[in-house]
Amino acid sequence: MTEKMKSVNPYNQKIIKSYNLHTPLEIENKVKLAEEIFTIWREKEIKERTKLLSNVSNLLEERIDSLSKLITQEMGKPINESIAEINKCIFLCDFYTLNAEDFLADQIIETDAKESFISYDPLGVILAIMPWNYPFWQVFRFAVPTLTAGNTALLKHASNVSGCALAIQEIFEDAGYPKGCFQTLITNHDIIENILKNDIIKAVSLTGSEKAGRHIAKIAGEYLKKSVLELGGNNACIVLDDANLEKYLDTMVKARMQNTGQSCIAAKRFIVTKGIYDEFVEKFTKKVKDLKFGNPIEQDTKIGPLARIELAENLEKQVNDALLKGAKVIIGNKRNKAYYSPTILTEVTEDMTVFTEETFGPVAPILKVDNLEEAIKMATNSKFGLGTMLFTENVELALHAISKIPDGAFFINDMVKSDPRLPFGGTKASGYGRELSKEGIHEFINKKTVYIKK
């Protein structure tokens, strides 16, 4: 009996489609094809690759309605956010179309040689293991720089967004990329582990949980393969007494509630100084109450279901743990299947799981502190290191805090977000390596020293 993988609409729990898992032979053939195509693809001029990338951008724009609808159906993202996700992928393609040639140009180094330089060569076949929460963006921010650098790619996407995975492969092929340059593998995680051990695979990129990251890193390390890990986050949002709530409150709400809170870089701990604490709780609560929950395919929906029922169940457990330890619910903590209502907690302490663990959903714990020094101490009390945001009118004061924040990103008066023009990644249990920008396209290349004697 052929094994199947199901895609289920989290809003109504209806099966969208079932997919046959690739057989071991099919997977073996796909891996070999990726290796064969690499020998051809690596020889293409960068201008040829970026021309195809421009085609991808155009196809995304042409298909934005159907692709955004597919995202919403498979993982429950409100439709306007799905549209925004596709638009962000278009921006990414356009950025590398414009800049890839400069990023990959030989770097001349002055030495005693007649000529010496760094040549940026692709590594080969790169394996990607990607999550469901941004089913297009997460894949594209891996695939675009990786393919443009001359590598080929194999994608193991999350099982609940198999339709998105196959749609992405179709886009690259329709854009003119050679078949085998980018391939989707419909398979289980135990099979992926064996694929990673294959000598053909030269490196791996994983976006996912800390647990998954440690497991993949262990295998990659054992087989001496490069890995880039973008793992969980527990980002702090620090709000100082002089913060301009009128100007930035919507940003703070979005920082927690965007994608129904299912984002590694969401604001997951609100650390507020005592002078503005009461005002912040009151105004933040009002804004969250006004967010409309409903069918995510409808234009005015702001909060959709979580991607799977078990995700909502786990979030409920985390909140109940906090309540047992003394936290208070201002609003929320109601679950119906995959739906979990936006929840605000006060009287939160640092021993609660909503503080120590990543909450992947619309839960906002709020903590009160005396000053910036105490806020930074609390913000950095985390095993994660993805990003921190700080809201204040005293930007000079905020700049002095940069060196005290050991995260991969520090945003002043804005939410932490990814941008193709800037490197993205974390520290500590949030992983290592960088995606996007020049740093991202340099992750899966061989920085080869070339020396020509006089």
439, two tokens: 């740093």
Contact status, residue 70 vs residue 161, Cβ threshold 8 Å = no
Q: Considering 210, 230, 358, 443, which one is annotated as catalytic?
A: 230
Q: What residues are paired with 65 via a beta bridge?
A: none
186, two tokens: 């419909």
Find all residues with CB under 8 Å of 221, minimum gap 6, and list them: 227
How far apart, in whole angstroms, are the C-alpha atoms of residue 147 and residue 37? Answer: 12
Cα Rg for the chain, rounded, in angstroms?
Answer: 23
Of 415, 413, 416, 350, nearest to 383 by C-alpha is: 350
- DSSP label at residue 134: S
Residue that is written with structure tokens 């990659």 in the block = 220
108, two tokens: 């001349």
Active site annotation includes 110: no
How far apart, in whole angstroms, are the C-alpha atoms of residue 226 and residue 382? Answer: 26
How far apart, in whole angstroms, are the C-alpha atoms of residue 374 and residue 379? Answer: 9
State the DSSP string of 224-283.
T-EEEEE----EEEEE-TT--HHHHHHHHHHHHHGGGG--TTSEEEEEEEHHHHHHHHHH
446, two tokens: 């061989």
Vertex 296: Cα angle to 174 and 264 (nearest 5): 75
- DSSP label at residue 424: B
Alpha helices by DSSP H, listed for 63-160, are 64-75, 79-103, 137-148
**CA distances for 338 relative to 55, 107, 325, 371, 384, angstroms:** 37, 51, 25, 38, 26
Of 186, 141, 191, nearest to 162 by C-alpha is: 186
Residues annotated as part of the active site: 230
